[in-house]
Each structure stands twice: as C-alpha cells, then as structure tokens.
Amino acid sequence: MLQQFRYLFFIFVFFFFTNSMALETDWSVGSESQVRLISPITHNDNQSEIYIGLEYQLQKGWKTYWLSPGDGGFPQEIVSNNSQNIKALEIKWPTPEQFEILGIQSIGYKDQVIFPIKISLEDITASTHVVFDINYLTCKDICIPGKAHLELNIPSGEAELTKHFFILEKTLSLLPQESLSVSFLEKVNTNIYADEEFISFQLKAKAKKSFDNPSVYLHTEFGLPVINPNTVLTANSKKLTSDFIFDKNIIKENKIDVQFVVADQNRSFVINQTLTVQNKDISTNNNYLFILLIAFLGGVILNAMPCVLPVLSIKLLSMLQHLEDPLSIRRSFVVTSIGIIFSFILLAVSFISLRHLGISIGWGMQFQQPIFLMIIGLILAFFSLNLFGLFEIPIPRFMNAKVVSGLQENYYTRDFFSGFFATIMATPCSAPFVGTALTIAFTQSSIMMLSIFIFMGIGMASPYFFVSFFPGSLRFFPKPGSWMIYLKYLMGLLLFGTLLWIGNILLNHFNYYFIYASIFLLLLILFFSYFIRHKKLILLIATVIFFTFPNFSFFNPVSMKTNSDWLDLTTINLEELKEENILFIDVTADWCATCQFNKINVLNSQSIKKVFEQYNVIKIRGDWTKPNTIIEKFLQRHKKFGIPFNIIYNKENPKGIVLSELLSENEIVEVLNKL
C-alpha cells in the first residue's frame, strides 16, 4: 500500500512539475498550420511588463504573412478584448523573407515562427488571463484562412523559467535591432520624395563593416504591392541606397508613417519614422550617374576578357601598317568604336522588345540558340582562315567602283563590323561591374536599360577611342616586320581555339557527326576555292548546305549519362536541402567563358574539393547552356540576369550568400568558415 502511494505521489509531482515548467496552450486545430501561446516564465515575477510567444507551426511549403504582405495576403489579426489584467500589447515582428505565392510577390514566414508579444500589466499582484482570437492566412498552392482561440493564465508572484525560455530569448535576440549603436549599421537616413508621376521611399545605410547580401523591406499603412527596390551598393559594399518607387496616385498624404527593415544574413535593423513628402524629381534621386559609371567600368574591363582580347589585338596589329597615316588610324578606330556602341544599342533594343513580349531575358542568352552558334562559328572559321592567308572574300563587281575603292582603301565597313563582332564575343563573358550593371539594367525602365547599355558600349570602346585620339601611341609597339606575321598566326590560333569552343557548345544541340560534316564542308570550301574562281558562289552554296544540317535527324544529339558528384538544380527540392545542409550552387553554361575559368581554376581544384568534403558541402549545379525555365526563375529570384552565379546556403542563411562572379579559393573558404 505504501509502495502504491509512493508511485501515485511521484506521478502527481511529475505532472505538476511538468505543467508548471511548460506554461503553454494546446495547439490550435488545423492540418496546414497550428498556433499556440507559450510563456518563458511560470509567474509574472512581480514585473509590470512580461513577454509571451505566439508560435506558428506551418506544414512544409506553407507560408504566412508579414506586416505588409502586398496583394497576396494579409497579416495576422489579434483580438484580445476578453483578456484580463492587460493594459497594452505590442507584437514584435521577426525579420521576414520575400517569396512568390501563386505568381504574386509576398513577404512573410515559413516552417516555424514565433512572434514575441510584450504585455504591460495593470496590476502585478493579480493573475493575468490572456485571451486571443487570432485570424491569419496561410498559402501554398491555395490560400486557407486560419482561426484560433487561445487562453493562457499567468499567475502573479515569483517566477521560474519554463522550457520555452531559451527559444523565446533566442527569438528576441534575432529580432531586428532598434538601436543603431548596437546594430550592424553605422548610419541610416530615410526620405520620401515625390514628383508629378512617382513617389519614392528611400533608405540610405552605411554598414560598420560591409554588406554581404542585403534585403530591404518597407511597411506603410497603405497596403502597397511588394516590389523589388532599386538597390545600389558602393564598390566597397559599405554603403547602400534602396528606392521603392510607386505611382503617386496611390498615396495622397503629405506625412507618412513608415517602417524600413534592413536585413543582411542573420543581422537586421528596423527603423520607424514619420516622414514628410519632399518635392523632388525622382529621376535625379536614383544614383543614376553612379550606375552609369559602373556600366562604363564594366565595359572597359570586358576588353581584357579572353573572349574579346584577340579582337582588340588583331585591330591593333592591322593598324601597325599605317603608322605614317595617323588620320587613317583615327578614322578606323572611331568607326570601330561606333560599331561597338551601335551594337550595344541594338542589344538593348532587342532586350527591351523581348521584355515587352513577356520573354525572359539574360546576358548571353543568344548563345543558347544553335542557329546563332552556327553563325558565330562560320564567322570565326573564315576569320581565322583569313589570318592564316587561306581564304579571302573579294568584293562583288556589281558595286560602284568608287564605293569599292573607298572600302578597299579605308576598310570602314570591316572596321564597323569588327566592332559588332567584338560585342558579340563579349556577351558570353562576365566581369567585375558587368553583373551589377546588367542586374540594374534588366530591372529598370527601358530608358535606363538603354542608357546603361550605351555607357557599357562606350566603356568597351574606350581603348579604341584612346588610340583614335592618340594614334602616336601605336609607336610604342615594335616596328613592322616578320614578327607581325607570327603574331598574326598566333591571333589566328586564338580564334581557331574559340571556334573549337563554339564547336564544343554545339555538341549540346547536335552530335559528333555534325562536327565532322562541318569540318568536311569547310575543307571542301578551301579545296574548291583554290581551283575555282567563283569563290562567292562556292561560299553561298556551302553556307546554305551548312544551315540545312539542323533539319536532319541524323545530327540530333545523343543523351549521355555522366558520373558527377554534383546534383542537378532542376531536379532537387532546394528548400528541403537548405534546412539541414550547407549547399554550394553553381549556375553555369558551356558558352560562359567566365564560368569555365571558375571551374578550371577554383571549383575543380583539389584544395576546394577537400574544403567541400571537410564541411560536408552538397554541390549543386544548374546548367544553363540551353534555355531552362527553372534556372531562369532561380536567377530572377536572386535578381540576376547573367552567369556565372554562385551562392552558398545553410539553415542560418536561407537567402544565401552570393559570391563574386570571378571566384577565388579564399572567398569560398572564408564564407564557409563563417557559417
């Protein structure tokens, strides 16, 4: 009997202790989502202010919403009229994230989220009865409203910690900082500007160290749609400017309460202010000059990329024969510069037209099309053969003799199209500043996109302009001699190497028989052009035959399985893998020269392979050699419109840490060490 009494006493004490050390409500009823209240303490601890937590548990793929969710949902509503001993409530909103639901951009939370609630008590000697009626919305493929009635009683008196204390303390520590002095920011300025058409909510921030991958969120009382702000970082990533631009007709008030949240990895800062709308031309307030400078620098750097350098070298080489005629040099380089700028304008107009037609656009996207690759391959073949002295195309006789004479003497047409060719060869390359300029261009108005492309063209044409202004600079080269012939052959080899690269890309669209047939056709052209005078006719017939190859199923590609320790981005569930793993994602393409540089010099190096093994990194690759909507959407979610694109994810960094376009081993190791 005594033994049974001991067991009953033990069970009573156990359940009483467990209940007192886990002050919480039951989960609400629901299949997609459940909510409950949790308390970090057993009593109010004789304090006038206490915290409790409103915890959401969402099923996989389901999301709920932030203060300003946009057009796609509504934030939670809490009615506490039946509560007792509560003077005031203040809901603390954790840092949200942006996502797409049913094709609409929204802001909110997924999986599990706890909203700390600060409660001011009327009487610290009385018990507090919390009664919440909660309305909220969860969405996945459909949206389902949720309701919950929760009651929690918190007695007065000295408190002990419950099992929820640490999770609530962690949640509070991760809330956006409200004090600038303890945040990761050094300085923050906010303004609202308006002109006759637009209103701009602007935030300028300076980081104490630097920004990695910042996001900025805006909340107002007007239920504004979720848009991607125009965000610009300085070259050292220490200063940030974000502009949210809306139609002025949406907002009529002159004084507006605003909240900005600046998030960067696991750091965030929130600022609440009442701002007066200032009259100012919005177009002068977007750092456009700085953006155009970035575009110009990107264009300059493109000349040093392996795709473009041979073209510039050949141009310089051709002018060494005319050192005694500076006027001819000036004209030649000016015409080439005009060709480069005009081709960038043509690219911009093409991208703008495609965007208006609703077609996804991206830098280098033309290299995904086999016909374009065939055209480039044909040009490269004749270009390289010409440098070896094996093939020349005479000017047609039907052209006016005066025009022919001018063309043969000044080569203006050739100069102009060499500028075109340099631009085309630049498109599979990316470089510092190029990615930034393109991201801004593809997310801005048509006028801004055109301006960015023009300045990128001016930047790429700047070496040519320099020589045209200072033709005497060519005298720094050695005097013309036999070395020029060997250099000419070297340039021919470089172009021939580029042709082999194009051929390798074409193997994604055709099989090896296509390559063999193309080589055989090229040899036939050389053979017949040597013995037959009608070279133009031979070239025309051969070109027609070449472009009929894609119509033959005989040349269709054969799918080949390759053994690789890289997962395919298009077949995995990225959200699942993020939760428990470190992920390294490489979006690449066979036509992307910078991507190949990253693979050869960094990703395929033994040291990086060992680092990936050390940190158990899951490697994922997205191959954008051919058009792929999954990869396009992935890039667009990260506001990227060109490749290479490399990003590292883990549980603490669900938005990812974006890496430089030109990778380095030190950068990857440094990021992994921080995780």
Nearest to 506 by CA among 645, 376, 379, 363: 376
Specify the pTM: 0.55
108 and 29 in a common domain: yes
The reported pLDDT for the residue numbered 189 is 94
Cβ count within 10 A of residue 562 = 5
631 and 489 in a common domain: no
Structural domain total, the chain: 4
Nearest to 265 by CA among 656, 651, 674, 661: 656
Query: DSSP readout, 374-436?
Result: HHHHHHHHHHHHHHTTS---PPPTTS-HHHHHHHHHH-HHHHHHHHHHHHHHHTT---TTHHH
Residue 419 lies in a domain: yes
Residue 417 lies in a domain: yes
Angle formed at CA 185 by CA 184 and CA 190, multiple of 5 degrees: 145
CATH number of domain containing 138 = 2.60.40
Instruction: Report the alpha-carbon distance of residue 389 to residue 315 in Å, rounded.
Output: 16
Q: 500 to each of 525, 600, 638, how far by Cα in Å?
A: 18, 17, 33
Please say which residue of 286, 315, 345 terminates a domain: 286
294 and 418 in a common domain: yes
Please say which residue of 494, 512, 544 terminates a domain: 494
The reported pLDDT for the residue numbered 405 is 39
Residue 653 lies in a domain: yes
**Cis amide bond preceding 644, omega within 30:** yes
Residue 550 lies in a domain: no
Residue 206 lies in a domain: yes
321 and 230 in a common domain: no
Instruction: Report the alpha-carbon distance of residue 524 to residue 517 in Å, rounded.
Output: 10
151 and 297 in a common domain: no
Please say which residue of 243, 271, 286 terminates a domain: 286
225 and 145 in a common domain: no
656 and 617 in a common domain: yes
The reported pLDDT for the residue numbered 28 is 92
583: phi then psi, degrees, rounded to nearest 5: -115, 135
Q: 285 to each of 192, 198, 247, 303, how far by Cα in Å?
A: 11, 12, 16, 31
Query: DSSP readout, 494-526?
Result: HHHHHHHHHHHHHTTTS-HHHHHHHHHHHHHHH
125 and 186 in a common domain: no
249 and 328 in a common domain: no
For residue 191, the SS3 value is strand
Q: Which residues contact 272 (CB under 8 A, 6 or more apart)?
A: 257, 258, 259
CATH number of domain containing 600 = 3.40.30.10
The reported pLDDT for the residue numbered 433 is 62
Paired tokens of 551: 């119509």
441 alpha-carbon distance from chain centroid: 12
Instruction: Report the alpha-carbon distance of residue 532 to residue 431 in Å, rounded.
Output: 46
Whole-number CA gyration radius for the chain: 32
Instruction: Report the alpha-carbon distance of residue 37 to residue 545 in Å, rounded.
Output: 74
Residue 69 lies in a domain: yes
The residue assigned the tokens 């999770």 is: 167
CATH number of domain containing 232 = 2.60.40.10
Residue 527 lies in a domain: no
Nearest to 244 by CA among 261, 266, 257, 226: 226
Contact assessment for residue 655 and residue 637, using Cβ atoms and an 8 Å cutoff = no
Query: DSSP readout, 115-182?
Result: EEEEEEES-TTS-EEEEEEEEEEEESSSEEEEEEEEEEEE-SS---B-TTHHHHHHHHHTSPB--GGG
Alpha helices in 547-664 (DSSP H): 574-580, 593-598, 606-614, 629-637
The reported pLDDT for the residue numbered 415 is 77
Query: DSSP readout, 244-298?
Result: EEEEGGG---SEEEEEEEEEETTEEEEEEEEEEEEE--GGGGS-HHHHHHHHHHH
For residue 619, the SS3 value is strand
Contact assessment for residue 511 and residue 556, using Cβ atoms and an 8 Å cutoff = yes
What one-letter code names the amino acid at 118? K
Instruction: Report the alpha-carbon distance of residue 514 to residue 516 in Å, rounded.
Output: 6
345 and 262 in a common domain: no
191: domain range? 180-286
326 and 212 in a common domain: no
Could you state, in chain order, the average pLDDT of each consecutive group of 10 residues for the chain (675 residues)?
49 42 85 93 94 94 89 87 94 90 82 94 94 93 90 94 93 93 93 88 92 89 82 80 86 91 91 91 61 84 71 63 70 86 88 73 74 83 75 46 41 75 70 65 73 89 84 66 69 80 86 90 81 74 88 79 79 84 92 84 91 92 88 82 87 84 88 85
Residue 557 lies in a domain: no
The reported pLDDT for the residue numbered 359 is 66
Total residues found in the chain within this entry: 675
Q: Which residues contact 548 (CB under 8 A, 6 or more apart)?
A: none
41 and 62 in a common domain: yes
